[in-house]
A and B are shown apart, each in its own frame.
Chain A
Amino acid sequence: MAEPVLSLRGLSKSFGALKATDDVSLDLRAGEIHALIGPNGAGKSTLIGQIAGTIRADAGEVWLAGREITGHSVAARARAGLARSFQVSSLAMEIPARVNVRLAAQGRAGGSYRLWGSAARDAALAAAADAALVRVGLSARADIPVAELSHGERRLAEMACALALAPRAFLLDEPMAGLGGEGTARLTDLLADLRHEAPILLVEHDMDAVFRLADRISVLVYGRVILTGTPDEIRASQAVREAYLGEEA
């Protein structure tokens, strides 16, 4: 078994008496979509924060491609190859998607303290941004301010930003949230394809999408991973039904 790309080892985080994350260990393997599901209040956001670097874990480690990144800042994790999307699209609204994506390409390429030259006329950055925008199918709408894009298009723009980082792993926080049927279908196709570039840790409420896309699913309840398995195993599990799907035993 090859080494996992992203690996959480015994992550724990408490807020006062509340154990928001309780000894979570989880692997993201090359080529897979690993979905993380759980009812509201299960601690998904807290866990994502610890992976992305916005929340410091009390205990445990985060490893990416064989390097420990537990103490790294958000930016250092992105440089190490962890691309994230936000639950609520987080882009600079007053500038076009292309410029947002170009900055991600710049973060990847480095030279962000270069005071000479023009970023807008940098052929390498333009090519990287262009490729990412083509990949998500947003080229035609990439030059108007993000504020004028639809919700679904903003999602795609964020995906293009993530792609432009040429990441080792994607961390996607409810990418389907608020999308209509067509938007969800479009994004589902994209994600199904993206896993071959880098594996995806997908936190998602849309169960249809999760069961369609995921190679493996981990179920988080009260901060603990109660089960990790294939979609079929998750469907069949009585424990998951009780805890998550709310069915009486």
Chain B
Amino acid sequence: MREALVNFALIALLPLVALGAQAAGETYVVTLAAKAAILALAGVGLNLALGVGGMVSLGHAAFFGIGGYAAGIAAHHVFAGTPVIGWPVTLEATDQMPLIWLAGVLAAGLAAAAIGAVSLRTQGVHFIMITLAFAQMVYYLGVSWKTYGGEDGLPIYLRNQFPGLDTGDGMQFFALAYACLLAGVALVWQVARSRFGQALAMARMNEARLAASGISPYPVRLVGFVLSGMVVALAGALFADLNGFAGPSMLSWHRSGEIMVLVILGGVGRLCGPLAGAMLFVALETLLGGLTDRWQLFLGLVLLGVVLFARGGLMGMLAGRARHG
């Protein structure tokens, strides 16, 4: 009950901040709110693997970046007036976000299936390391892909379009990112309560019990990993359009760490934990980043404090212990 109230407050807070900033003429803050919404969406996606399924992946930047490149590549071709694929079939570029998202999410889903199929044969530290290694492979693929900017990445001169919206407008873009966040939260909420979600949670809590119940842990985890990667890819596509840039930095392991940090800040396995984490993260980055280039030192201290003293992250502090079942 209390967690539901906190969730509601967190969900309401973000648009209030954006609207208030808009009214005050602080368009930069609207952009920050959009950034928080997008990072929260990435966290919500990672939380499905990490919080529900217990899969500590340091490779989710790969999916974030694949989503980002989908947006960047589409914008690049639309801007240049060239097709994405010229031969054997011609695939014209589109600047319509729904199609770009579909492509990015499906590509990330395929990548997650391939990465997960191998990584999920291992557990614990090995799983962390192998997901990290796969993400670094994708990173170097991005760096070496000269067609799409290599290590310089791809600028997005004109934001991709969404039917009925002016995505160039900060407030409208925020609304779009926020709607995607709500959809992501709703999706993860629904998945977690479904039969599949129950099996995925048992894979985290007690794998032997899951198998003894007649449900094979491996494919359950794999499906969870793929769904998680797909949600994160949507966040990546939005992030690229927000920043007007898609590049290898989206794929780097720092990004995986960042998404994981905001999940841990907010509270692992808590539905709206990533919202709290992302808002705190963006606030710290903005406030401390203005004072010092070494702001991540202070982020590290905050993270340390949360992990040591607030088990369950911000959600643990705000809403008490997690309720299970």
Contact = CB atoms under 8 A, between A and B. Distances in A.
Interface stretch (A22-30, A39-47, A71-79, A199-207): A71-79
A243 interface: no
Interface stretch (A111-119, A132-140, A186-194): A111-119
Contact of A91 (B191, B194, B198, B209): B209
Contact of B220 (A86, A111, A112, A122): A112
Q: Is the interface of B mostly helix, strand, loop or mixed?
A: helix
Interface string B220-234: 100100000000000
B212 interface: yes
Given A74-B212, A95-B205, A117 B195 contact: yes
B196 A94 contact: no
B324 interface: yes
A100 interface: yes
Interface size class of B (residues with CB under 8 A): 20 to 34
B90 interface: no
Interface string A84-109: 10100011111110111011101110
Contacts of B198: 99, 102-103, 106, 112, 119
A115 B324 contact: no
Given A86-B212, A90-B206, A90-B208, 14 more contacts: A78-B211, A92-B202, A92-B205, A92-B206, A95-B325, A98-B325, A103-B209, A106-B198, A106-B215, A112-B196, A114-B196, A115-B190, A119-B195, A161-B209
Interface of B: 190-191, 193-199, 201-202, 205-206, 208-217, 220, 223, 324-325
24 contacts: A75-B214, A75-B216, A75-B217, A76-B216, A78-B213, A83-B212, A84-B212, A86-B208, A90-B208, A90-B212, A91-B209, A94-B205, A95-B205, A103-B199, A104-B214, A106-B195, A107-B214, A113-B195, A113-B196, A113-B220, A113-B223, A115-B191, A122-B195, A161-B212
